[in-house]
Amino acid sequence: MGSLGNTFGQSEPKNEYQPDWTFYFSNVNEKLSSIATDLNLKSVAPIKGQENVVYVSIEMPNPQGNGLSSNEDADELWKIEDEIIDQFDKNNLNYTFVGRLTSDGYRDLYFFGENTILMEKEVSAVMTAFPNYNFDYGHKLDKEWSGYFDFLYPMPQQMQSIQNRKVLAQLEKAGDQLTKEREVFHWIYFKTQNELDQFEDYTNSLGFKTLTKENTEQPSEYKFLISISRIDKVGYNEIDGYTLKLSQKAAELNGDYDGWETSVEL
């Protein structure tokens, strides 16, 4: 993690930074792509002194037909990443590893840092141990971390899919096989009663049942809450289908889809 771990760890142990790495699929330059990033960086970025983005682009010798990484390349790609990070740490470089992109036969690593000359020197030194991997590297000034916020960080619909996976993982941890239909509950907030009513008409047409409608009397601009439910499947192949529809419709009506819950079914 570089200096970020030190900044939030040693001086103030109670506020130690906790990364939240996740991955999601996207479309980059009309190619299927896998993006991994640390979601929690959003709360601390940009980081002082780390004004340059350094990238390392590695050509994969044996990519899958869809351009993503294969089992043949996986171990070496992880080794390369670990070696680069280890060398940055050994040299006490001021940097943060912010994400990786796998697409079109390439694995791209992204770092924000201070001393680009030393960072690129260490990248070049590490890659000499991996002669079967062609690579390129470079850097550019990015004080606002737009490469993180505008490229690596997921869009709202992608974030919903990420949150869905987290809930499903918790259900599986509790022993749920995700095969049984069950009542699934959803909460959505709106700025006006009219927008809530329009959303209710939409969800009623999809077979959802309205459970509650209330004025939250909160200082937030989202003062109107509706909770709905429907009997649904919750498997990985089903959950995105209806939650993305709900979140998209809420966004169209200036609302905020706040997520879903359900029971554990054994």
* pLDDT over 90 (residue 217): no
Strands (E), the chain: 21-28, 31-38, 52-59, 95-103, 106-113, 135-141, 182-190, 209-215, 224-232, 256-262
Model confidence at 15, pLDDT cuts 50, 70, 90, reads: low
Phi, psi for 245 (deg, rounded to 5): -65, -45
Q: Which run of H or E residues covers position 82?
A: helix 71-90
pLDDT of 74-106, one tens digit each?
999 999 999 999 999 999 999 999 999 999 999
For the whole model, what pTM was predicted? 0.85
